[in-house]
Structure 1
């Protein structure tokens, strides 16, 4: 017998098995699974009253709130496809993507309605406001829908469409299926040992890969969601609510990497870290505070994280951090990952030879919504071509070097920006470091942008002198620019194209600041 693989089945189980356990906490408000089930059933009713039918798209624009979590439960149970947009996107992007997504209903947090109100009115679709008492009062008078799987559910049908950025030039709405989400859920349950007593803090926007899949995995485990609307409150949130699990990009954790300003956690916290490669010094700092680190890799196109290195698997090494800084092996349901040369041949496992990461997996997306050309460019001959450059070590662990377009060509020799960044991170004053290329007649010239820990006092030329013994002469930054903050996307990734624009048309061989 075959039944559809979907995260909705373990969700429905949790509503019954864990009815008396705490499902969601925010501030002093506690919601049990029984109440989450009631609210979900009533929102299903409301969505259907507004015309949602099987396969219809439901727009969600909201920060991390209990209402947003509710939407991730109710929309797919109503047969819809949830399309979460990160409210940190600019207004132009929010409005453009709201149209591109073809929604039939919109769920919009009251605080953000003014940003998209005119666009949604022009689309002539119902708008349900969340984030206030009126929303729950409206739900309270509805007859709850029966909580069961939608009729004729197809596991290969989309459960969500997740836009990878706020750009309007070439929109890439990643269609993730019920099957994708189910297998991602299994990976998270296994590798993070999620149990009913687990308490997870949602720091990254839920719109980012459906909270890397945790919106459904935590419910499947009968564990507790703690949504954090404002990531700048991370430090305070970790000291309350009994947090046991966290997922985040290194940039979101930058405020915690100054050990002097970050005392030990009240309890160990299992941390899934992904997005960019953290330097071993950053990892050591996090470990000293009490984080149990798993370092992952993935894309929205692979249902978020699909490769992981777990510090618990490295007990015999005198220093686990250099290995933990690598991205690791595919997760238990991760599928196949190869690193290949331009010829298509696999790179040798020597930790030196770079190639492109390609992936064949049940986690790979169905495709990009209304963008067949981008889908064809990404998925070729059954493999997802990521554009990420990596090496493979003798232990078969993958280590990311750069995006394909980020590898520098300096004096005719390839230089990884990550190699230069890793040296800068060795200095205790450095909080974040990003290296981009300034183009010149001589080729690429490395330019470093650096943020410092609070109270640190060092000049750019001193950092350049620090790097000199650790890098080949041609790989030394031609300029070290100290900046208060780095430009980032809504999900915390550094906007390298913004930094490249700042160094464009400027003489490359300037002294460091």
Structure 2
């Protein structure tokens, strides 16, 4: 026997990793510090822990335990934050529901995840009532009775009364093992039924620690919830902010003026969001001529921010951190770490550096770009396309009740993202497209992201998407869909094409431009499948 293996695990030298421990620590270290600011109440860390314990005990008293699913249909709120601790304290699995989904999709999710409890804001009561028509087994219904008032007889109990009747002791069973499921998040795929992505306690703990370090967070952090908490558990920041003893500032609806007011009122230091959120805020604040009194760090997920957006953000006072990840990777898996030598670069060149997806986060074991045919790493030449593949502790357990999809996702021992990218000589990754979005024109590959980058540089363009359009000569050519920044009819197809000709190789210039509102998924992603359907013969 190996002499080192004689030293085994004991309760003294080994503990199950779970982000629930973050709240317990912060409630000890910062008991009277403001943990959560919401519209109806402000909570200290002591109160935050107490309410989370009440929720755990209320669930236990209702017979909810190990691996039972508890669903939440609420906007960003203290109730959602309490669920991120109280539900796993009870040993149960948290399923945060996208509040923008339709009843049929919500019904599918509740059935597929076998939710035993549904906590919902009464502002969604009519949606819940419709959803229940397609649910096989009615869950226990708990109503959060806030702005929309009391439940109209649908709920079994009100949330506040339910918590008030429960014990405050911190005695929930918690996870039996750190590999136990902590949450269930459904993808927002543009076709077919969503897939249920299962997270474990270990991954959630490590993702939160990594996220806090990636964003330079500490106990002075004041975080504004512009990112939905239902999206990848708020990219793990539901746990990360608590880990560092920061302050959560809740925001129920994304509104540019309200975001500005809360940043100024509470001294917000950090916020996250999709490109559409950043673009909306920049457009509105730019129109009003407003600037932040103190810089705020904005972590941007989704598509790479165009250089024009990064420049505008800096002028208003936002310092951009570009993150890359997927639902399957607990949100962020890579970030664009700024290098000291970038400081002296001209603004346009610096913006191009910052727009890359960068290098792996600390919780990811490895991230690489592999040739899709051979599975071998592509050369680091900034030119050769391959697929981003990831492995490590912050990759999902798998897709719930979908072994075939899980096997495909973990092909060759990696999580296969479906995103096409290149690797630069400095090891930084740069996405060029989704595998299904690359345009092959006359044998040449055209990155839709490259064309979109050029489109976003036009000051009259608010949003842009580029898809392939059939062409008798070239097979495929780019077609651009753009949403104008100003609804005055001044933006024309000819203006866009002339603009692109100045910035792109001729074969990459869109052959057609459609101006108008762009269709989006419930999480704000542009639905390119609908745009392609519009071009179908």
Moved more, 122-131 or 9-18: 122-131
Q: Which residue does 1:62 correspond to in 2?
A: 74
Give the secondary structure class of the aligned counterpart of 1:489: coil
Once the 2 structures are TM-superposed, how far is the Cα of residue 318 of structure 1 from its aligned partner?
3.5
Q: CA, structure 1 residues 387+435, in 2 after alignment: closer, same or farther (shift >3 Å)? A: same
Paired residue for 1:509?
Answer: none
1:480 paired to 2:513: yes
Note closer, same or farther for the CA distance 1:255–1:299 as it changes in structure 2 (3 Å cut).
same
Residue 234 of structure 1 corresponds to 259
List aligned pairs for 1:272-421, cutoff 5 A.
272-311=299-338, 313=340, 314-319=342-347, 320-341=350-371, 342-421=373-452
- The offset of 1:477, in angstroms, is 0.7
Match of 2:455 among 406, 424, 427: 424
Separation in 2 of the partners of 1:311 and 1:289?
A: 20
Which residue does the alignment assign to 1:145? 169
Aligned pair 1:123/2:147, yes or no? no
C-alpha distance in structure 1 between counterparts of 2:392 and 2:279, whole Å: 32
Q: Structure 1 residue 503 and structure 2 residue 531: aligned?
A: no
Contact 2:337 2:359 in 1 (8 A): no
Contact 1:347 1:355 in 2 (8 A): yes
When structure 1 is superposed on structure 2, of 266-275 and 25-34 the one drifting more is: 25-34
In 2, distance between residues paired with 1:433 and 1:449?
6
- Contact map agreement 1:99 1:119 (CA 8 A) in 2: no
Structure 1 distance, partners of 2:235, 2:76, is 13
CA distance, structure 2, for counterparts of residue 455 and residue 62 of structure 1: 32
Could you say what secondary structure the match of 2:502 adopts?
helix
- Map Cα deviations across residues 374-416 of structure 1 (whole Å, 9 max, x no partner): 1011111320011100011111110111110000011221111
Is the CA contact (8 Å cut-off) linking 1:85 and 1:207 kept in structure 2?
Answer: yes
Q: 2:205 aligns with which of 155, 163, 182?
A: 182
1:334, distance to aligned residue in structure 2 (A): 2.2
Partner of 1:165: 188
Deviation, structure 1 residue 294: 0.9
CA-to-aligned-CA distance 1:231-290 (integer Å, 9 cap, x gap): 134344333322111011111111233334452112111111111111011011111111
**Preserved CA contact (<8 Å) 1:109 1:131:** yes
Tell me if the contact between 1:257 and 1:431 (Cα under 8 Å) persists in the aligned partners: no
- 89, 113, 119: which one pairs with 1:77? 89
Partner SS, residue 239 of structure 1: helix
**Equivalent position SS for 1:73:** helix
CA RMSD of aligned residues (A): 1.9
Partners of 2:127 and 2:43 in 1: how far apart? 30
State the Cα deviation string for residues 283-312 of structure 1 (Å, max 9, x = none): 111111111211110111111001011447
Q: Find the counterpart in structure 1 of residue 499 from structure 2.
A: 466
* Distance (whole Å) between structure 1 residues aligned to residue 137 and residue 196 of structure 2: 19
**Cα 1:131/1:278, change in 2 over 3 Å:** farther
In structure 1, the partner of 2:483 is: 451
In the comparison of the two structures, how many residue pairs are matched? 503
Name the residue aligned to 1:249.
274
More divergent stretch after superposition (135-144 vs 173-182): 135-144
Say if 1:120 and 1:435 are closer, same or farther in 2 by CA, change over 3 A.
closer
Gap change, CA 1:16 and 1:28, over 3 Å in 2 = same
Matched residues in 2 for 1:119 and 1:166: separation?
23
Instruction: Find the aligned partners of 1:28 and 1:116 in 2 and give their Cα distance.
Output: 23
Does the CA contact (< 8 Å) of 1:420 and 1:475 recur in 2?
yes
Distance 1:152-1:359 versus aligned 2 partners, 3 A rule: closer
Give the TM-score, by structure 2 length: 0.89
Give SS of 1:87's match.
coil
CA contact (8 A) 1:292 1:311 kept: no
Where does residue 434 of structure 1 map in the other structure? 465
Offset of 1:166 from its aligned partner? Answer: 6.6
Which sits farther off after the overlay, 277-286 or 473-482? 473-482
What do the CA deviations read for 1:199-239 (whole angstroms, capped 9, x no partner)? 11111211110000001111111111112111134344333
Distance change (3 Å), C-alpha of 1:333 and 1:312: same
Q: Residue 188 of structure 1 contacts residue 217 of structure 1 at CA under 8 Å; is this kept in 2?
A: yes
**Aligned twin of 1:110:** 122
CA contact (8 A) 1:293 1:311 kept: no
**Matched residue SS, 1:414:** strand
Match of 2:10 in 1: none
Per the TM alignment, residue 146 of structure 1 is displaced from its structure 2 partner at its CA by 2.1
1:487·1:495 contact (CA, 8 Å) conserved in 2?
Answer: yes
Deviation per CA, 1:66-112, whole angstroms, max 9, x where unpaired?
11111112101111100111011122111111111111222122222
Counterpart-to-counterpart distance in 2, 1:83 and 1:28: 24
Matched residue SS, 1:58:
strand
Q: Distance in 1 between matches of 2:421 and 2:189?
A: 26
Using structure 1 for the length normalisation, give the TM-score: 0.93
